[in-house]
Amino acid sequence: MAEPVATSQIIGSDGFELHPADETAILRELEHYEQPQAACIEALKIVQRRHGWVPDEAIPAIARVLGIGPGAVEGVATFYSLIFRQPVGRHVILVCDSSSCFLTGFDELKQALVDQLGIDYGETTNDSRFTLLPVCCLGACDGAPALMIDDDTYGPVTADDLPGLLEGYP
């Protein structure tokens, strides 16, 4: 394993500035909607795409661009499970823990992930490579147990598949 590096060093610390391109992208989102607030979730995702997560300072910045209150933005940013408010690793693993996966080996898969990565839910590996999170039913129940790594969905995944799978995400 690589030397442990503080997550924040790699992904950026709380020092935050809204990238001009992101601001443009957020403003472009407004076209689809009657009210600017509607672009709030997408705005958070835009910031997250660049930084990996949404630092606290992004909240008033997004509020300013959208012309809404920072309280409303923070309310949205803390509601949705795919908006990360703490630094995450370069790759985020979402393991489905819902019923079909539970019935087909989720427990073993999750344990294998914990064992192989050395982290539990909400944690990031020392090398900032992976963050592990639970996710509700991925809509891949015919491929249960399933998981997602970044934008890719996998299933059925067994404990033995994991090493090969993870290798693809340096």
Partner 1 sequence: MSESIPNQRRSVGYRSRLMQTEAERRADTHPLTWRLRDDGEAVWLDEYLRKDGYQSVRKALSEGDPHAIIATMKEANVRGRGGAGFSAGLKWSLTLQGGDRPRGYLICNADEMEPGTFKDRLLMEQQPHLLIEGMILGALANNSRYGYIFLRGEYVEAARVLNRAIEEAREAGWLGPDINGSGFDFDIAVHTGAGRYICGEETALINSLEGKRANPRAKPPFPGQSGAWGKPSVVNNVETLCNVPAVILNGAGWYQGLSGDRTDDGGSKLYGCSGPVDNPGLWELPMGTTGMEILDRAGGLRDNRQLKAWLPGGASTGFLLPEHLELPLDFDTVGKEGSRLGTGLLTVVPDDMSMVSLMRNLEQFFARESCGWCTPCRDGLPWVVKLLQSLEQGQGEPGDIELLDKLAADCGPGLTFCAHAPGAAMPLQTALRHFRHEFEQGVGKPRGEAHQDPIPVGEV
Partner 2 sequence: MTMAIIHVDGQQYEVNGAQNLLQACLSLGLDIPYFCWHPAMGSVGACRQCAVRQYKDADDDKGMLVMSCMSPATDQTRISIDDAEAKAFRASVVEWLMINHPHDCPVCEEGGHCHLQDMTVMTGHDRRRYRYRKRTRRNQYLGPFIAHEMNRCITCYRCVRFYNDYAGGSDLGAFGAKDNIYFGRYEDGTLESPFAGNLTEVCPTGVFTDQSHSDHYTRKWDLQFAPGICHQCSLGCNISPGERYGTIRRIENRYHGEVNGYFLCDRGRFGYGYVNRNDRPLVPLWREGAGHPAVTLEVDTALNRITDALRHARRIIGIGSPRASLESNHQLRELVGADNFSTGIEAREQACLDLMNHLQRTSGLPTPTPRQIEDHDAILVLGEDPVQSAGRLGLNLRQAALARREAMGEKIGVPAWNAEALKTLGQNVYHPLHIAWPATTDLDDVAAGRYSLAPDDIARLGFAVAHLIDPAAPAVDQLDQDTRETARRIADDLMAAERPLIVSGGSLASEAVLQAAGNIAQALARRAKQGGLVLIRREANSTGLSLMGGQTLDWALDELNGGRADAVVVLENDLYQRLPPEQVEQALGRADIQVVVDHQSTATTAGAHFTLPAATFAEGDGTLVNLEGRAQRFFQVFEPAYMRPEARIHESWRWLHALTAGLRGEAVSDINLDAVTRACAEAHAALAGIVDAAPGADFRIEGLRLAREPHRYSGRTAMRANLAVSEVRPPQDPDTPFAFSMEGYSGFDQPRQQVPFAWAPGWNSPQAWNKFTDEIGGHLRGGDPGIRLIQREPGHRSYSAAVPPAPGDTTDGSLRALILPRLFGGEETSARAEPIQQRMATPELILNQKDAEALGVREGDSLLIGDGPALTVQEQGEWPSGWAGLPAGLLPGLAQGDTLTLRKAEGGTP
Binding-site residue set for [2Fe-2S] cluster: 96, 101, 137, 141
The interface region with partner 2, picked from 17-25, 41-49, 78-86, 141-149 by CB under 8 A, is 78-86
Q: Which does 56 bind (CB under 5 to 8 A by kind): partner 1, partner 2, none?
A: partner 2
Long-range contacts of range 106-115, CB-CB < 8 Å, 24 or more positions apart? 106/144, 106/145, 108/158, 108/159, 109/145, 109/147, 109/157, 109/158, 109/159, 109/162, 111/159, 112/159, 112/162, 113/147, 113/162
Binding-site positions: 96, 101, 137, 141
Q: Tell me the closest approach of the beta carbon of residue 48 to partner 1, in angstroms.
A: 9
Looking at the DSSP assignment, which residues form a beta bridge with residue 58?
Answer: none
Examine residue 61 and tell whether it contacts partner 1 (CB under 8 A).
no
Q: Is 71 in the site for partner 2 (CB under 8 A)?
A: yes
Give the nearer residue to partner 2 in terms of CB position, either 74 or 123: 74
CA distances from 133 to 88, 124, 150 (A): 10, 10, 11
- Tell me if residue 22 falls in helix, strand or coil: helix
Q: Kindly state whether residue 68 participates in binding partner 2, applying the rule CB under 8 A.
A: yes
Q: What are phi and psi of 4, to 5 degrees?
A: -65, 130
Report the 10 Å Cβ neighbour count for 94. 20
- 109 and 77 Cβ atoms separated by less than 8 Å: no
Residue 154 found at the interface with partner 1 (CB under 8 A): yes
Q: Which is nearer to partner 1, 113 or 157 (CB)?
A: 157
Binding mask 123-152 for partner 1 (x = CB under 8 A): ------------xxxxxxxxxx-x-x-xxx
CB count in 10 Å sphere of residue 116: 13
- Of 71-79, 90-98, 104-112, 147-155, the window that binds partner 2 (rule: CB under 8 A) is 71-79
Which residues here bind partner 1, judged by CB under 8 A?
32-42, 44-45, 49, 72, 75-76, 79-83, 90-91, 94, 97-100, 102-104, 135-144, 146, 148, 150-157, 161, 164-165, 167-169
